[in-house]
Amino acid sequence: MAEIGVPEGMEQPEEKKQGVAHLFAASSYSAAGLRRALGESAFRQEVVFFIAALALFFWIGATLAEFLGLTIIFLLMFGVEALNTAIEELVDRVSPEVSRTGKHAKDLGSFAVFCTLVAAGLYIAYVTFF
């Protein structure tokens, strides 16, 4: 519920936690972010892509270092996808009407995700064929 005189969605921020309480709070925020990301079909498709890549790497007998490289690339991809989703939600919240600036922000976020997808594809091709 909004405070009196404060617009909806603009309530006072929660008090900052300190020490170990901050660690637990940060973990719960990360878990909430993961749940939110799983609500995005693009994120779920990237998870399926990761699982398929892992299966391929098992099948071709990839080294532990190659598995590590694959995992790092996909973790970066998941992070970029989460940031892209955050950008899209903020643009929609701040500027619900279609705007050129909002479109540019969303397009740039999409391009960042595309770059990580290409990086993953190139790495998978390199490990598989060379």
State the catalytic residues: 81
d(CA 73, CA 79): 10
d(CA 38, CA 95): 24
